[in-house]
Structure 1
Amino acid sequence: MKSATGLTGSGSRDWFIQRISAVVLAVYTVVIFGWILFHGGFSYEQWSGFMMTLPMKILSLLAILSLAAHAWIGMWQVFTDYVTTRQMGPSASGLRLVLTSAVIIAVFVFAIWGIQIFWAN
């Protein structure tokens, strides 16, 4: 029997990672919007100073990794649910491989770029 795997090889682990990553992204969003709300009319220097503090760099790293995992698991599920031979014929396997490869490359590039933005200086 062929094993269908997402990020971890287990549907329940993928489900758990997706929920944890959603919580991390929600916390990050609330922190960012909260700072903007309480610092109206801020300058680039204030924004940069806030974003480059160690707690925000760590939270941003967690958000980048969470978004990468969340996107990969979500897109893998969409491809396995909707890009099937039953719906698209024999070409579905090749299309799914191309789409999955594109998502893997995009998520990897996004994660490396995001990490570099916060930790390169």
Structure 2
Amino acid sequence: MSVNFGSKRVVTGAHYGLRDWLAQRVTAAIMALFTLIVLLQVVFTSGPVGYEAWAAIFSAQWMKALTFAVFVALAYHVWIGMRDIWMDYVKPAGIRLVLHMFTIVWLVSCLGWAVQVLWRL
């Protein structure tokens, strides 16, 4: 007697689904909260908002650390999105690998630049 029910589909892939979906939501929430904090600081700044006001907002050590954490969250958010785009739309494995490596190098470079900018103030 043969069984005619159940899935015979072979499931393959990286199985990142729920973890990456949740990571994108968490990183988006971190970035939204940071944006709200910066907007509130700008709104409650007395006087014109020029270079001095921006430098004052980001001069506190906790703000530099928070900003760097947001940059890391942004880089991870971008990595998940770009990796999914490369995996979904670029079929040749060699080209996909090159694009993945380029994306990683670009994001790490941007994080290095963010460190230079933040701790230069």
TM-score bin (small chain): 0.7 to 0.9
Give the Cα separation in 1 of the matches to 2:27 and 2:120.
24
| Aligned twin of 1:98 | 98
TM superposition score normalised by structure 2? 0.77
Q: Is 2:1 the partner of 1:18?
A: no
Give the percent of matched residue pairs that are identical in Structure 1 and Structure 2: 34
Residues 1:4 and 2:4 aligned together = no
Which one of 34, 39, 62 corresponds to residue 33 of structure 1?
39
Report deviation, 1:2.
Answer: 7.1
- Is 1:25–1:66's contact at 8 Å kept on the other side of the alignment? yes
1:52-67 superposed matches below 5 A: 52-67=59-74
Alignment of 1:44 onto 2:51: yes
TM-score, scaled to structure 1: 0.77
Alpha-carbon distance in structure 2 between the residues aligned to 1:43 and 1:78: 39
2:77 maps to 1:70: yes
Dislocated runs of 4+, deviation >3 Å: 37-40
Deviations 1:47-96 (A, max 9, x none): 10111112211210111100110011110011111112xxxxxxx21221
Conserved 8 A contact 1:24-1:63: yes
Q: Give the length in aligned residue pairs.
A: 110
Q: Larger helix proportion, structure 1 or 2? A: 1
- Counterpart position of 1:87: none
Structure 1 unaligned spans of 5+: 85-91
